[in-house]
Amino acid sequence: MVYKNIICPVCGGSCDDVQVNLDKENGTIDVQNACKMGSAKFKEVVSSHRLLKPTIRENGKVKDVSWDEALEMAADILVNAKKPFFFLGSETACEAQEVGLHIAEYLGGLADSNATICHGPTVMGIQESGMVGATAGQAKNRADMIVYWGVNALESMPRHMSRYGVFPRGYWTKRGRFDRTMMTVDPRVTPTAAASDLHLQLNPNTDYELLSALFTILNGKEPHPSVEEITGIPISVMKQTVEMMKESNFVAIYVGLGVSSSYGKHRNIEIALNFVKEMNNYTKCNIGALRGHCNVAGFNQLASYLYGYPFGLDFTKGYPRYNPGETTCVDLLREKDVDAAFVMCADLMDHIPADSAQYLADIPMICLDIAPCPSTTAADVVLPGVIDAMECDGTFYRLDNVPVYFEPFTDSPFTETKSNEDTLKQLFAKVKAKKEA
């Protein structure tokens, strides 16, 4: 049967035009309109390596157990921990993340998400400076200059350029690509850079210096000559860049981890946001993060709404605290500051530095995921996951923080659970029963 307008649950693009032809009898699926990553994810519905049975590790050996036994052991681990840590990954809906946050609060643990190892510094920069933002639709209809700064959009959000950024024909950009100037700032010659009209190949870790120089030029001053050697970009090119922006009607800047994850971190974002504010004295200009992990923006929205902080939540004192560098995932694990972990819908083991990963493998870990990966290998309890937007409904937040409600085209393969939200509610009930016994 053919299903249309399915939301893709892979990156923050939340493409809503995917067409799926699912043949349940023969176990085949045909996917139209999705990118390479999206297409691969949709095939997980019928894949042979899908995790379908809960497992536990007992005396070093992994064995299949019933759903109830796995939940019991998971609840035991969490209840017996002094400082449990919840990594509520982004490849699931806000509804599941909400239950996870409530369990963390109930147990006095800590909660974090992909946001912290993705655009956490971007969010911190926004807290410092505020953000001139716009929806992706605004950029599509209005932007005649697109800047990808520290992001390889063609490979991290493959359809961004065709759906929102560069190629689509908008109301005031009727000729699509021909009505837009595209610029990339990246130390590497990426496919995105190769497709750009202008590529600023700056030296690594010099984003702050380059942004400062652009800011200086925008204010009508001459930057110090040493900035050429530091950034690798001639001042004449910097001046040309500022003029191009000022002469445009609407500039849309998309930042990636190249800005927020290199030296300078949130200060890079802070100065970029201030530059954008200043640029609005000359033309319309906005900035947004290209958020790679599915519902990573959703966790920020949800945690801010529920507890006042966007990530790195610490409930150990009975009320929410937030101190990046202390209450955030990589730091907690590196400093051996938690004694059990619940990892949901993200391969955390794969994404964190060795010091943190080694400790994560040492402590009791529960992992909820759909396919074998380093996190499931190191886990003591594995709970099979339901695939959001394919097997259950829910809400994602798109890269521009627009909520997107999604509906499934097939059912959960498990009789024991309808969704990851359902699984977490079952786990929460067991946790409460044990804690209050």
Partner 1 sequence: MEALLNTGSTIDEGRLAKGGSKYTDDYTKECAVCWMCAEDFTSLGCPEKVAVISRDRKYSVALSTKVTEAMRSGQVFIPRSIWANVVVEPDTFSTGSPRYKGSPVFVEPTDDVILSAEELVTKMYMGGK
Please select the residue that binds partner 1; options are 4, 24, 36, 336, rule is CB under 8 A. 36
Give the amino acid at 8.
C
Residues 284-313 contacting partner 1, CB under 8 A = 292, 311-312
Name the pairing type of β-strands 181-185 and 145-149.
parallel
Report the alpha-carbon distance of residue 69 to residue 402 in Å, rounded: 39
Please select the residue that binds partner 1; options are 237, 372, 429, 435, rule is CB under 8 A. 372
Residues 56-75 contacting partner 1, CB under 8 A = 60
At its nearest, how many Å lie between partner 1 and the CB of residue 63?
Answer: 15
| Other Cβ atoms within 10 Å of 407 Cβ, number | 13
Please select the residue that binds partner 1; options are 50, 102, 239, 277, rule is CB under 8 A. 50
Coil, strand or helix at 302: helix
Comparison of 37 and 252: residue with beta carbon closer to partner 1: 37
At its nearest, how many Å lie between partner 1 and the CB of residue 121?
Answer: 5
x-or-dash pattern for partner 1, window 158-197, by CB under 8 A? x----------------------------xxxx-------
Summary count for the chain: helices (H), strands (E): 20, 19
Report the alpha-carbon distance of residue 312 to residue 86 in Å, rounded: 10
Comparison of 117 and 431: residue with beta carbon closer to partner 1: 117
Residues 398-417 contacting partner 1, CB under 8 A = none
- Is residue 347 at the binding interface for partner 1, with CB under 8 A as the rule? yes
Comparison of 144 and 347: residue with beta carbon closer to partner 1: 347
Report the alpha-carbon distance of residue 21 to residue 32 in Å, rounded: 8
Distances (CA, A) of 361 to 44, 202, 262, 348, 369: 26, 38, 27, 11, 16
Report the alpha-carbon distance of residue 301 to residue 399 in Å, rounded: 11
Asked whether 396 and 11 are in contact (CB, 8 A), the reply is: no
Give the amino acid at 124.
M
Residues 108-127 contacting partner 1, CB under 8 A = 112, 116-118, 120-121, 124
Comparison of 161 and 427: residue with beta carbon closer to partner 1: 161
Comparison of 129 and 138: residue with beta carbon closer to partner 1: 129
Comparison of 95 and 347: residue with beta carbon closer to partner 1: 347
Asked whether 212 and 113 are in contact (CB, 8 A), the reply is: no
Report the alpha-carbon distance of residue 180 to residue 106 in Å, rounded: 51
Please select the residue that binds partner 1; options are 173, 356, 417, 426, rule is CB under 8 A. 356
- Is residue 334 at the binding interface for partner 1, with CB under 8 A as the rule? yes
Stretch that binds partner 1, among 296-304, 336-344, 348-356, 409-417 (CB under 8 A): 348-356
Q: What is the longest distance spanned by two Cα atoms in the chain?
A: 71
